[in-house]
Amino acid sequence: MTDDELIWRVAGGSGDGIDSTSQNFAKALMRSGLDVFTHRHYPSRIRGGHTYVEIRAKDGNVTSRGDGYNFLLALGDSFARNPSEHAVYGDEEVKPLSENLDDLREGGIIVYDEGLLDVEDVPNFEERVEENNWHVYPLDLRALAKEHGREVMRNTAGVGATAALVDMDLEHIEDLMSDAMGGEILEQNLEVLHDAYEQVNSMDQPHDLTVPTGEHDEDQVLVSGSHGIAYAAIDAGCRFIAGYPMTPWTDAYTIMTNLLPDMGGISEQVEDELAAAAMAVGASHAGAKAMSGSSGGGFSLMSEPLGLAEMTETPLVLLEAMRAGPSTGMPTKPEQADLEHILYTSQGDSHRVAFGPSDPKECYEQTRTAFEIAWEYQIPAIVVYDQKLSGEYRNVDASFFDREPNASLGKTLTEDEIEEAAHDATGKFKRYQHDAEDGVSPRTVPGQKGGRYLASGNEHWPTGHIAEDPDNRTAQVERRLEKLDAIHEDLDDRDQQVVYGDEDADFGLIAWGSQQGTVEEAVARLNDNGNSVKALGVSDLSPFPVEEVRAFVDSVDEAIVVEMSSTKQFRGLIQKEVGGVATKLSSLLKYNGNPFEPAEIVEAVEIEQNGGGEQPTAQTTLEPAAGD
Amino acid sequence: MSKAFSAIGEERDVERDEFTPGIEPQPTWCPGCGDFGVLKALKGAMAELGKDPEEVLLCTGIGCSGKLNSYFESYGFHTIHGRSLPVARAAKVANHDLEVVAAGGDGDGYGIGGNHFTHSARENHDMTYIVFNNEVFGLTKGQTSPTSPKGHKSKTQPHGNAKDPVRPLSMSLSAGASYIARTAAVNPNQAQEIIVEAIEHDGFSHIDFLTQCPTWNKDAKQYVPYVDVQESDDYDFDVTDRREASEMMYETEDKLYEGTVLTGRYYQDSERNSYQAEKQQRGDMPEEPLAERYFDEDYEWERSYDLIDRHK
């Protein structure tokens, strides 16, 4: 096997330290000069249950998980050993070795903890090994760990074994361990690492998988989508967050909560998401840059305060980290099916902005945009992402984050400016003036002299008082809508949509949010194989980039809309916003809880190019264009 | 005095009329409505305390009570049904120099917003919450509310309410409010005194304010005579003693539905830290109000780039 990439899957039980082990290993690979990408899969359980992280590392840009993997480190599920749980969880214990085993590429490597796992429990193990030319290295990782330290150090033993098998230098791993621990724990871990490394090195190794080598031009950092979002919020001067825990939004919430106190910021954990979003509205009203967020279920509760922020024109940023629904759905699995929920929840005509970034860098950029738009235009802006992007780590140039902060409150007046501003005959500040430029009427903040007004969820006069006068109503509705036109123009200049692939291609793919990187890789593969394909990645969801999407659709004969939704929500949005394109758009859908793999997209394109009509072999669904 | 917010903390004599809008909107309250009593007492209390209308943020819910800030001149936030408290307490957290008052009806506070009431009291924010308790949903035309008596007949309970009413004072005590009182629109002097005490109290103050609804429920006469439990010889309890307060509250809640209107101060815990003090002790809230920072042109905002080494 001559793979130019390592796709290392570390599999165990929830609570076995898979996350931290994989992060350190990913960092070590990054430090060695490779680009890395992580994909995590975990159950909604604290202890036990098959969980794995895949790290894909190669020399050059990685935008997606790969197809399958070429190295499996199966630690076993140490928490699935309780015999009384057997009836419920069945063969859970062996799952780290048996689950998706057929996705291990031909010639791939298996290291498993023979202290915990018995290959007898894996159906036809020997035959499959032989058939696929897999190389199997059973090691008693637990015993090895116990010999020098404690059982939990078997992860370290697994990493040492991995390094020996793929000819990886231990230097970066040792450095990272020294950063993370000290004293006896560090010494024991280093002993475990070296002992495993040496034991495996002395074994006969007939495989030919080695870790690729690469070099970076500058310092790299390993960050997730949630870091991109949180760091953008910090740089936007956001110092208030309110929330309620919910997977996967908790990732970003926790990062913010841990950072804010040291910056004189405030994090509030409150009774429910309704209060969380209402608190962000209250804090913003009082002058702070504030945010809140949740996942689908919690976002349902935010429907009310979202509408209140729209009507009172209170700047606000909300996050929505999607997971598979409806209802509780699958808490730890991604889906993109909250799109319509986000765009249309809350009564009346909505006035909101929504962005769906594709990777940690876009998470950063578009969260910055969300804060700028929210405060410049006094409107809620929502950053929509999902379980995949939330915890997906990639390397990014460290200098990417070398930015100027911007804590501006937009058109918020100072007391000196208030003196010059419009007031009614009684001295009440005119907060909601009909003829405001771009529809944005300057605001004041409680405590400011001369700025008093009433913010109301009811329709209101320019001073904020409740009004049902038809002329005032029409003027206020039209002014609020005017803001969306101005935002649309503003967003056009920011150009947040991306086109990949062969620009002359007459076959297109369209995706949004976290699936874009996978589509990007599929397009590259198709074009490398002599196909001619291009793709459009859409990030602006509201206001929708109608012209850009129309131009893309016009430039191709047909396009597949790729999304994790069973009801084609994104395709529906395009058809509604752009109009007249329904006969060109087919759909590739996936809703089994796992994100797309590049090969699944390649397969779908090939089917469509051969005239369509067939269903893919993968767990995906092709739905034809209207009229087909 | 605050740099960005000069209305805050100004020492001066304040006239009651400063809290009356220059052009007073046509009242949407019925003649004889108890809500006028809250408005009057609140204006009087704010003037007595020398508060500038522009250092006050009055957050209201929905219902007749929610119209309070149409007739009260200050910064106002007329929120949505049941949600005045999270908006109000966040404003207090963002700028703890503001004088924050939340107000709403009994349906707003004890029904749809009950969860927020519980947790706002528990957190003990230094703010005042006035609940207009008229034992009925007024604005939507007289439906049974959380404080309506058992057996109350309305279009939504045609066979009479099967539920016992909530116990507002007891709820407040168990939730953690540190100042709890009941007053009535028919007793304007006591009402103003209690609002003054509530605002001065450093913690979450809850006032259950009996506001007669002459259109759907009772007129003022039915809240008379009222008894001030501090002034009556029939009652003797220590407002700082949680157990005694609890018993007195229970009796007061029962008596209301038997036709005896008991009012007064029920509980005060002056020892308990406000939420702000608790947060600040933990380093979780800045000493200077957060809102000030956005008006400080010299402030050097922290950057994510300074945190990035941990990701290398």
Question: What is the structure's pLDDT at B224?
Answer: 87
Verify whether the Cβ–Cβ distance A267 to B284 is below 8 Å: yes
* Neighboring chain B residues of A466 at a CB cutoff of 8 Å: 67, 70, 78
* Neighboring chain A residues of B83 at a CB cutoff of 8 Å: 274-275, 278, 304-305, 308
Q: Quick one: DSSP state of residue A544?
A: -
Verify whether the Cβ–Cβ distance B54 to A448 is below 8 Å: yes
- Comparison of pLDDT for A350 and A551, the residue scoring more: A551
Question: What is the structure's pLDDT at B219?
Answer: 81
Banded model confidence at residue A469, pLDDT cuts 50, 70, 90: very high
Distance from the A234 Cα atom to the nearest Cα atom in chain B, whole angstroms? 6
Task: Please tell me the number of Cα atoms within 13 Å of A40 on its side-chain side.
Answer: 26
Distance from the B118 Cα atom to the nearest Cα atom in chain A, whole angstroms? 9
Statement: residue A18 has pLDDT above 50: yes
Distance (Å) of CA A47 to CA A77, A81, A589, B301: 9, 11, 32, 41
* Residue A481 sits in the same domain as residue A507: no
Banded model confidence at residue B140, pLDDT cuts 50, 70, 90: confident
For testing the chain B interface, which of A259, A465, A469 should be mutated: the one with the most B CBs within 10 Å?
A: A465
Give the domain-ending residue among A477, A494, A511: A494
* Residue A313 sits in the same domain as residue A451: no
Statement: residue B222 has pLDDT above 90: no
- Tell me: the pLDDT tens digits for A120-145? 999 999 999 999 999 999 999 999 99
**Other CB atoms closer than 10 Å to residue B227's CB: what's the count?**
16
Statement: residue A1 has pLDDT above 70: no
* Neighboring chain B residues of A242 at a CB cutoff of 8 Å: 90
Verify whether the Cβ–Cβ distance B118 to A271 is below 8 Å: yes
| CA nearest to B286 within chain A | A264
Question: What is the structure's pLDDT at A184?
Answer: 95
Say which range, A83-87, A250-254, A492-496, B136-140, has the weakest mean pLDDT.
A83-87
Q: Quick one: DSSP state of residue A624?
A: P
* Residue A505 sits in the same domain as residue A488: no
Whether A86 maps to a domain, the answer reads: yes
Phi first, then psi: give them for residue A547, nearest 5 degrees. Answer: -65, -45
* Neighboring chain B residues of A403 at a CB cutoff of 8 Å: 303-305
User: Helix (H, G, I), strand (E, B), or coil: what is residue A512?
Assistant: strand
For chain A, how many structural domains are there in total? 4
Q: What average pLDDT score do residues B48-71 get?
A: 96
Question: What is the structure's pLDDT at A13?
Answer: 83
Verify whether the Cβ–Cβ distance A403 to B312 is below 8 Å: no
Give the domain-ending residue among A337, A366, A401: A401
Whether A343 maps to a domain, the answer reads: yes
* Residue A604 sits in the same domain as residue A557: yes
Q: What average pLDDT score do residues A382-401 get?
A: 97
C-alpha–C-alpha distance, residues A257 and A249, integer Å: 12
Statement: residue B66 has pLDDT above 90: yes
Strand partners, B130: B103, B207
Q: What average pLDDT score do residues A245-254 get?
A: 97
Q: How much is the mean pLDDT over chain A? A: 94
Task: Please tell me the number of Cα atoms within 13 Å of A323 on its side-chain side.
Answer: 25
* Neighboring chain A residues of B2 at a CB cutoff of 8 Å: 447
Percent of chain A with pLDDT strictly greater than 70: 97
Banded model confidence at residue A172, pLDDT cuts 50, 70, 90: very high
Q: What average pLDDT score do residues A211-222 get?
A: 97
- Tell me: the pLDDT tens digits for A32-54? 999 999 999 887 777 667 889 99
Question: What is the structure's pLDDT at B230?
Answer: 97
C-alpha–C-alpha distance, residues A98 and A123, integer Å: 8
Statement: residue A155 has pLDDT above 80: yes
Cis peptide preceding B27, ω within 30 of 0: no
Whether A217 maps to a domain, the answer reads: no
The domain defined by B16-311 folds into Rossmann fold (3.40.50)
* Residue A327 sits in the same domain as residue A373: yes
Q: What average pLDDT score do residues A352-364 get?
A: 98
Q: What average pLDDT score do residues A189-195 get?
A: 97
Q: Among residues A588, A595, A597, which one has the least CA distance to residue A570?
A: A588
Statement: residue A2 has pLDDT above 70: no
* Candidate from B23, B55, B87 with C-beta closest to A447: B55
* Neighboring chain A residues of B294 at a CB cutoff of 8 Å: 237, 287-289, 407, 409, 412
* Residue A390 sits in the same domain as residue A448: no
Question: What is the structure's pLDDT at A627?
Answer: 75
* Per-position DSSP letters for chain B, written without gaps between them: --SS-TTTT------GGGGS-SSPPPP-SPTT-THHHHHHHHHHHHHHTT--GGGEEEEE-SSTGGGGGGSS-SEEEE--TT-HHHHHHHHHHH-TTSEEEEEEEHIIIIIITHHHHHHHHHHT-SEEEEEEE-SSBTTTTSB--TTSPTT--BTTBTT---SPPP-HHHHHHHHT-SEEEEEETT-HHHHHHHHHHHHHSSSEEEEEEE---TTTS--GGGG-SEEETTT-TT----TT-HHHHHHHHHHHHHHHTTT-EEEEEEEE-SSSPPHHHHHHHTT-S-SS-HHHHTT-TT-----GGGGGGGG-
Question: What is the structure's pLDDT at A80?
Answer: 56
CATH number, domain with residue A547: 3.40.50.920
Q: What average pLDDT score do residues A604-624 get?
A: 92
Q: What average pLDDT score do residues B295-304 get?
A: 97
Whether A450 maps to a domain, the answer reads: yes
* Neighboring chain B residues of A219 at a CB cutoff of 8 Å: 312
User: Helix (H, G, I), strand (E, B), or coil: what is residue A156?
Assistant: helix
Question: What is the structure's pLDDT at A408?
Answer: 98
Verify whether the Cβ–Cβ distance B5 to A466 is below 8 Å: no
* Residue A388 sits in the same domain as residue A425: no
* Candidate from B89, B295, B303 with C-beta closest to A405: B303
Q: Among residues A432, A523, A532, which one has the least CA distance to residue A483?
A: A432
Banded model confidence at residue A430, pLDDT cuts 50, 70, 90: very high
Verify whether the Cβ–Cβ distance B80 to A264 is below 8 Å: no
Contact A28, A38 (CB under 8 A): no
Which helix (H) or strand (E) segment holds residue A470: the answer is: helix A470-494
CATH number, domain with residue A365: 3.40.50.970
Statement: residue B1 has pLDDT above 70: no
Question: What is the structure's pLDDT at A425?
Answer: 86
| B308-311: long-range pairs with CB below 8 Å, 24+ | B308/A221, B308/A231, B308/A398, B308/A401, B311/A221, B311/A222, B311/A223, B311/A227, B311/A398
| CA nearest to B303 within chain A | A235
Verify whether the Cβ–Cβ distance A266 to B73 is below 8 Å: no
Q: How much is the mean pLDDT over chain B? A: 95
User: Helix (H, G, I), strand (E, B), or coil: what is residue A458?
Assistant: coil
A:B CB pairs within 8 Å? 238
Say which range, A88-92, B259-263, B265-269, B274-278, has the weakest mean pLDDT.
A88-92
* Candidate from B74, B291, B307 with C-beta closest to A452: B74
| CA nearest to B121 within chain A | A271
* Neighboring chain B residues of A449 at a CB cutoff of 8 Å: 5-7, 54
CATH number, domain with residue A22: 3.40.920.10
Verify whether the Cβ–Cβ distance B90 to A403 is below 8 Å: no
Q: What average pLDDT score do residues A462-482 get?
A: 96
Question: What is the structure's pLDDT at B84?
Answer: 98
Question: What is the structure's pLDDT at A560?
Answer: 98
Contact A420, A451 (CB under 8 A): no
- Comparison of pLDDT for A93 and A504, the residue scoring more: A504
Verify whether the Cβ–Cβ distance A237 to B97 is below 8 Å: no
| CA nearest to B281 within chain A | A261
Phi first, then psi: give them for residue A452, nearest 5 degrees. Answer: -65, 140
Give the domain-ending residue among A201, A231, A258: A201
Distance from the A177 Cα atom to the nearest Cα atom in chain B, whole angstroms? 13
User: Helix (H, G, I), strand (E, B), or coil: what is residue A111?
Assistant: strand
* Neighboring chain A residues of B68 at a CB cutoff of 8 Å: none
Verify whether the Cβ–Cβ distance B279 to A266 is below 8 Å: yes
* Residue A98 sits in the same domain as residue A172: yes
* Candidate from A401, A428, A457 with C-beta closest to B78: A457
Q: In angstroms, how far is CA A580 from the centroid of its own chain? A: 31
* Candidate from B93, B299, B311 with C-beta closest to A268: B93
Distance from the A435 Cα atom to the nearest Cα atom in chain B, whole angstroms? 23
Distance from the A521 Cα atom to the nearest Cα atom in chain B, whole angstroms? 25
b/e burial code for range A509-530 (CB count within 10 A of at least 16 → b): bbbbbbbbbbbbbbbbbbbeee
According to DSSP, the β-strands at A454-456 and B75-78 are parallel
Domain of residue A347, residue span: 222-401
Distance from the A88 Cα atom to the nearest Cα atom in chain B, whole angstroms? 36
Question: What is the structure's pLDDT at A83?
Answer: 53
| CA nearest to A301 within chain B | B83
* Residue A90 sits in the same domain as residue A109: yes
* Residue A262 sits in the same domain as residue A330: yes
C-alpha–C-alpha distance, residues A346 and A303, integer Å: 5
Direct distance between the N- and C-terminal alpha carbons of chain A, in angstroms, rounded to an integer: 42
Question: What is the structure's pLDDT at A88?
Answer: 54
| CA nearest to B300 within chain A | A405
* Candidate from B70, B80, B91 with C-beta closest to A466: B70
